[in-house]
Structures are given as structure tokens and as C-alpha cells.
Chain A
Amino acid sequence: QSALTQPRSVSGSPGQSVTISCAGTSSDVGGNNFVSWYQQEPGKAPKLLIYDVNKRPSGVPDRFSGSRSGNTASLTISGLQDEDEADYYCCSYAGSYTFVVFGGGTKLTVL
């Protein structure tokens, strides 16, 4: 299965909103309700931000939100803060519930 498609980089100024897209197919992103998003700071393990397309684990600020339209999922970060500068990855099933696929990752730069 192929990796999901994310933009390599996005940027925004503090206080602004940015959206990161994750394009897949009807066999993965568009075919189930289990898209998740992860934030990875340099040198650290990824951290769960969003699961089941639009749900936030406890402790994740409501500035982070997820959505999906067709075969493309999106992560929106509103009220951008300096500490949001990190890499972001989407994740979904790939063809069956036993296989998992990640997006290629998006580097967010806070200007």
C-alpha cells in the first residue's frame, strides 16, 4: 500500500490558522472512520493529536481539530503558537483493518 499524500511543508504566523491535508483513496482515508494525526517534535516520539477523524484525546488543546471530505483528511491548527512548530503525520487503515499506513509527514514552521 502507498503512503498517504501530505504537503511537505506549511507555515503560518502566531495566532493564524493552518490546515494540513492528507490525501488517500477510498481504500484508506475515504473508506473508514479511523484517521489519526500525530505531532512529532525534533528528537522525540510522535504524540497522538486526533483519532477517529475528529476526536481529541484528553490533554490535547481544542486548537487542534480534524475533519475529512471524501478521500482527503485535514488537520487544522488554529491560534498558532511557537510550540506548534513540529512535524505532523496522518495515519489510516490501508485496504484492510490489519494494515496501517502513514502519510509522508508535513513540517510546520511558525514564522
Chain B
Amino acid sequence: QQQVKQSPQSLIVQKGGISIINCAYENTAFDYFPWYQQFPGKGPALLIAIRPDVSEKKEGRFTISFNKSAKQFSLHIMDSQPGDSATYFCAASMIGNFNKFYFGSGTKLNVKP
């Protein structure tokens, strides 16, 4: 059973546009929701994360929106740049369970100049 479902699988956005990636989870015990960015040949790198006690978190051009009742969260990339082209993964974990993360299947973002 896939604990975290991510969509879309791939996304093409024009430079300056908004990229939106969505995730849904099942386990209500999850209490930490990070987004990771992965470039080819590299390991995932933490981009931004949110706890369920807030509905939105913004860091620069990156925003997480969190809907606890719907068990959904999304990543918005404002003013998307070609350098943002990468694969993005959402994940979920229970802090008390240390680092046992459940990852989504990934979204390959291509920002066209």
C-alpha cells in the first residue's frame, strides 16, 4: 500500500510560471511533511517542510499548502526558473519514529526558458 501518493508524474512550465505538485497521504499519525529536490546523479535535498499545525509555509519562491482534513499537501513554486528543473518528492514521517520517511513517486519538473 502506497502511503503517499504524488501527482503529476511530470510537469512542464514556462519560465516565470507557477509549478504545483500535489500529494495525499493516508496515515493520520504522520506529523512531518518535507519536500525534497533531486538533480540527476545527486541524492535528494530538503527543500521545505511543514508540520500539521500550520496550513501554509513559505520560504522564498517555495510554498507548502497543507490541508489536514483532506490529508493533502502541495508544493507551489512561484516564478519558476530553468534551474528549478529537477525531480521533486514529497514525503511523510512520524517524528517519534525518527527518520522512517515514506516518499511519493516523484514529479519531474521541466521549466522551459
Chains A and B come from one and the same complex: no
